[in-house]
Amino acid sequence: MNPAISVALKTLCGGTLVLAFAVLAETLRPKRFAGILSAAPSVALAGLIVGTVAQGAAKESLAARGMIAGAVGLTFYSLIAVPALRRLGPGRGAALAGLGWLVVAALVYPAVS
């Protein structure tokens, strides 16, 4: 598939999913759950859908595994960010949480590959 067509399809599919998830998020209470359904999961799904159609499931499984490792790392980041920000301030707290995300994602990736 032509790379330009692939990008256009990912954009269209991602935008449609972002809109669908935004509508779903509007129905949730409390509103802070809306962030869980924001753009990143929609764009990831769109990328996987279009990539699978264009290149096959085997190649896109690598991207999905990377997304899994990143999600586990992000969970770790979220757990340590608030205490780190309170204790160390915004710059050092975010840097520590980001370093934790990188380390956890790097450790998880081989396990899911």
Mean pLDDT of 65-72: 90
Are residues 41 and 3 located together in one domain of the fold?
Answer: yes
First to last CA, the chain: 26
Residue 76 tokens, joined: 């770790």
Are residues 39 and 18 located together in one domain of the fold?
Answer: yes
Confidence of residue 5 (pLDDT cuts 50, 70, 90): confident
Res 4: pLDDT: 83
Res 92: pLDDT: 95
Res 104: pLDDT: 95
Question: In terms of residue numbers, what domain contains 49?
Answer: 1-55
Last residue of a domain, one of 55, 71, 86: 55
Report the C-alpha gap between 41 and 91 in whole angstroms: 27
How many Cα atoms occupy the beta-carbon half-sphere of 14 within 13 Å? 17
Give the pLDDT confidence of 14-67 residue by residue, as tens digits.
778 777 777 777 777 766 666 666 667 777 888 888 888 888 888 888 888 988
Are residues 42 and 4 located together in one domain of the fold?
Answer: yes
Are residues 51 and 80 located together in one domain of the fold?
Answer: no
Number of domains in the chain: 2
Res 33: pLDDT: 61
Are residues 32 and 71 located together in one domain of the fold?
Answer: no
CA 33 to chain centroid:
15
Are residues 112 and 62 located together in one domain of the fold?
Answer: yes
Percent of residues, the chain, with pLDDT higher than 90: 35
Are residues 36 and 81 located together in one domain of the fold?
Answer: no
Res 106: pLDDT: 94
Give the pLDDT confidence of 39-51 residue by residue, as tens digits.
677 778 888 888 8
pTM exceeds 0.85? no
pLDDT of 91 strictly over 70: yes
Other Cβ atoms less than 10 A from the Cβ of 14: the count is 19
